[in-house]
Amino acid sequence: MTLIDAATLAAQLADADPPTVLDVRWRLGGPPGREAYQAGHLPGAVFVDLDADLSGAPGAGGRHPLPDPGALEATLRAAGVRAGHPVVAYDDGDGQAAARLWWVLRWAGHDDVRVLDGGFAAWRAQGRPVTADEVTPGPGDIVVRPGGLPVLDAAGAADLARAGVLLDARVTPRYRGETEPVDPVAGHIPGAVNLPAADLAGPDGRLRPAEELVAAFEAAGVTAGRPVGAYCGSGVTAARTVFALHAAGRTDAALYVGSWSNWVADPDRPVATGDKP
């Protein structure tokens, strides 16, 4: 299972040894998620910053490249993450930042991690307790061991687009090259198939049921035996797509962490536009 609902989490938080809860509220362009955390968060939750803690410095590797393993280990230990102990991640409710945290933890070798279904919004909607108290977690002892989930670089993404299915999780106008609000070049990786991340969610923003996800992925060409991976602008939205692929049973799905922001850093890499892969 990749998701946990608010009622189940509430029951687990009442246990003698509750899961470690991490607040990763974040929005592209701000405001900083820490401000929302300080205004109110789940009891016992510790804030982690997607930009500073779950990514390396932006540059040629992309806007949200992989974090340094040693720095990530220090951050997670400071947040109270323990080896073999369950972690629950939540964001405002769209699941993107929480999925990125889920993916980073899984990549780092920590398997017992869930995402709160519906995030902070779902927790509040059920009238569950929120606090602005400072949280001092107990010391963590996680050892970061990179490689828990498959990662694509630019060459690997190009190969996958030819030999398997490389899903572009961005909105369709960005895929077509009609607009590009963030990166310097518009278009998509040749051979990539557009499946906007929003198509994997229902009207409330929550992930669709597994059988609906399977159907959506099959319609995009994801079938048994064909390798699959995903990318977006900088590896955040696509982490949600990889999360959805896991929920649909494709636990082999790879993430191109650098994504489009890394791809266009090299002007020699080809760029496609229009509806076709």
Tokens of 15: 């246990």
Find the Cα–Cα–Cα–Cα dihedral 199, 66, 246, 123, rounded to 10°.
-70
Amino acid occupying residue 215: A
Among 240, 238, 196, which residue's Cα sits nearest to residue 216?
A: 196
Contact 113, 88 (CB under 8 A): yes
Tell me if residue 226 is catalytic: no
CA 89 to chain CA centroid, Å, is: 10
CA distances from 68 to 37, 52, 241 (A): 25, 11, 23
Contact 103, 115 (CB under 8 A): no
Among 242, 203, 214, which residue's Cα sits nearest to residue 100?
A: 242
Q: Which of the following is catalytic: 105, 169, 207, 232?
A: 232
Contact 167, 209 (CB under 8 A): no
Sort 27 into a burial class: Cβ within 10 Å, 0-12 / 13-18 / 19+: middle
Contact 177, 244 (CB under 8 A): no
Q: Which helix (H) or strand (E) holds 213?
A: helix 210-219
Residue corresponding to tokens 């001092």:
136
Active-site residue numbers?
232
